[in-house]
Chain A
Amino acid sequence: MSSDYARRHLRVGWWALLVFATLGLVLESLQGFKVAAYLDVSNETRRLMWRLAHAHGTLLGVVNILFALTLRTSAPSTPPGLARISAALVAATFLLPIGFFAGGIVFYGGDPGVGVLLVPAGAILLLLALYWTARGVR
């Protein structure tokens, strides 16, 4: 059973890595071609939000892969609460970077757009998943 979760997180992790590494390439292109909508000082909030989306998405992809590897190396049987941890981690993997990205699409001076409200929800789920995972490690 835990191997199912491991496969799930491997898939999520590698796809997240692909998507958000690609976002990094897009951002580098915006930088390289000096696109004003990304680089102008008045778009500083957008730049910050999208960079955070790239960084968080990529990092969370790695976390998913590590989680899957942890499951494979340490869990011979189905651990209790794994479904809850897995759901929280997957949700965080989407909510955090998407929240940051959406917050940079429309923004108000130094304030990101309302999409950024997804970020605290994702952060809470991530912290819960990390806490439950840490507690489960022996």
Chain B
Amino acid sequence: MMRPFTGVRNTENLVVSAVALGAAAVLAGGAFARADRRTPERAVTNRPVQAPAGGYASSDTCRACHPGQYASWHGSYHRTMTQLATPDTVATSFDGVTVDAVAGEPIHLEQRGRELWAEFADPDAAGVGVGSDPTLTPLTPNRITRQVVMTTGSHNQQIYWYATGNSRVLGQLPAIWLTSERAWIPRRAAIMSPPGAHASETGAWNGVCVACHTTNGQPRLDAPFGSTPAPAIAANTRAAEFGIACEACHGPGEAHARANRNPARRYALHFQPGARDDTIVQPERLDPLRASQVCGQCHSFWEFADPQAERRANADGLPYRPGDDLAATRFIAQPTRNLDTPIMRAFLAADPGFVRDIFWSDGMIRATGREYNALIDSPCFKNAADPSRTMTCFSCHTMHKPDDDPRSIGDWADDQLSPRAIDGRSCAGCHTMADDHSHHAAGSPGRTCENCHMPYTTYGLLKTIRSHQISSPSVQATLATGRPDACSLCHLDKTLAWTAATLDAWYGTPRPALGDDEQTVAASVLWLLKGDAGQRAIVAQAMGWPAAQRAAGSAWLTPYLALTERDQYDAVRLIAARARRTLPPFRREALPRGSAQLLLTPAGTFDTSRVNRLVRERNNRRLVYRE
């Protein structure tokens, strides 16, 4: 027995210490209880809930071992694609604000503690949504007050969803917040759709958005979405996690987390160079097709192959897991590959715009958010024989910002571009071009690969983005499809004849036969005046592009954008107004008077006869983008 010390009697000190420790524990517990007052998910009944199950563990679990990856994901817009609505997550104030975006139907926003509420015209009541359309007679709408419980969207726009009071079914506020403009607009104005096209969005989050704005979303509607009037739908919607979280791309992580609670296993993996942990999916290590399908599960244009598949997904969520063959469980609509198939014919019979409104006539995708469709028809993908030299989403994008990337998380998050995509190494990995290949000056926009081979011809979310189907400028393709070519979207003042002659001179591209207008009027002007709504939006946005303004001059753009601000499509008007704000104040004396190809007279006015003729020839078919 070792009793070496004498003379120390610490009983009193021990008692004092124990009392102090107890008091500290009580104080800490009280503070913790106050901080965690949010209603537990299991007790929430008026909205969809987060309930990890079926092998999903949630990003909180991933964070412990992957702090860097967690942080870059947390800073990304994938995370915020669905959030619970709180004063911290909404992009604008709800504190006593009245929104007048929808004419005659004000929305009163209110903050009650941490809760957000809105009083507005019931979108499901007859007569609501008429808005500013003067051809319809507005009725006195039923006004309702509902709690705003969730948001979707992030850097472009934020959409607000309220608890309808019917099970977990959500309704959508009639106005949305535009992040860059810092302004409210009517919800229907945010979609490329003709005037008067309006449908209630009640239940849409539960039935549609949940698939891609959450991780492992399960609609659990009591009837297929759209089969019954919105108020009659009931839903028990849930998701493993709101937003597109770790397991959306890496697959369910519960087994991975469980296996790696064993430190010996973890360190064995650390010390084996190139070791693969088969309890989790690393998308970049999959073959090019499967790797891209991880993104394609959301960034593609797909439908359920049959009603049974839809029923199963309604109950259990989509069956696709990263690493699977996406096409095995969904129908990926790709007119270049499956236009003449029974399933496509069935979709076309039900909706003639099924292909036309989302693809150019040659099968190239024209709607944002479907980049997988573009990728798999790109020559860099479909013609590549070597997997290591096959373009995938990860050739240009990275889901986790590299440590040595000097950009801030915010800068990186906008499009999650990999550093190698910024300096052109993505293309240079396979393509070695002569120094004069582009025929543009070093440092100029025309020198970059993407400005010629990925022009801004895809539309969605009130803006155009680059086509993700790699292509080369072709007047022939432009004539055949109506898709603006890269040259004309920068050289806005040039005709297609000029573009054809230039491509012939530089690359030997055969010149197609051109009509009188194509030979004499700037291509951008033609599309703006007589193109369909999608073409008009593309050109209007190009007119706000600084590179194009430098190449084509900006003095003549204001009149055309002002004209476009009277377009019948809300979305086109909004883009034109945004483009006009990028221009210097209009000066009539700066106009290139007498420019025939810009339809300007020597007096500095429009050549009204030709302008009016082109507007009369406008392609006015109803266009509804499936954004």
Q: Chain A residues in contact with chain B, CB under 8 A?
A: 36, 40-45, 70-71, 73-76, 79-82, 108-111, 114, 132-133, 135-138
Contact = CB atoms under 8 A, between A and B. Distances in A.
Contact of A109 (B5, B66, B263): B66
B270 A111 contact: yes
A76 B366 CA distance: 90
13 contacts: A41-B68, A42-B69, A42-B403, A74-B7, A75-B4, A75-B5, A79-B2, A110-B65, A111-B266, A111-B267, A132-B2, A136-B2, A136-B4
B235 to A, nearest CB: 37
Q: Chain A: interface secondary structure?
A: helix
A51 B328 CA distance: 50
Contact of A81 (B2, B10, B64, B270): B2
Interface in B30-71: 64-71
B132 to A, nearest CB: 47
A74 B403 contact: no
Contacts of A41: 67-68, 70-72
A73 B3 CA distance: 15
B8 A74 contact: yes
A74 B64 CA distance: 46
A70 B8 CA distance: 8
Contact of A73 (B2, B8, B69, B267): B8
Q: How large is the interface on B (under 10, 10 to 19, 20 to 34, 35 or more residues)?
A: 20 to 34
B137 interface: no
Q: Chain B: interface secondary structure?
A: loop
Contact of B6 (A40, A135, A138): A138
Given A71-B5, A80-B4, A138-B3, 20 more contacts: A36-B403, A40-B403, A41-B67, A42-B69, A74-B8, A79-B2, A81-B4, A108-B270, A109-B68, A110-B65, A110-B67, A111-B263, A132-B2, A135-B2, A135-B3, A136-B2, A136-B4, A138-B7, A138-B8, A138-B9
A132 B3 CA distance: 9
Contacts of A42: 67-69, 71, 403
Contacts of B66: 109-110
B257 to A, nearest CB: 11
A108 B7 CA distance: 50
A41 B66 CA distance: 10
Contacts of B266: 108, 111
A73 B10 CA distance: 13
A47 B5 CA distance: 40
Contacts of A111: 65, 263, 266-267, 270
Contacts of A137: 5, 8, 10
B366 to A, nearest CB: 38
A110 B71 CA distance: 12
B2 A109 contact: no
Nearest to A133: B5
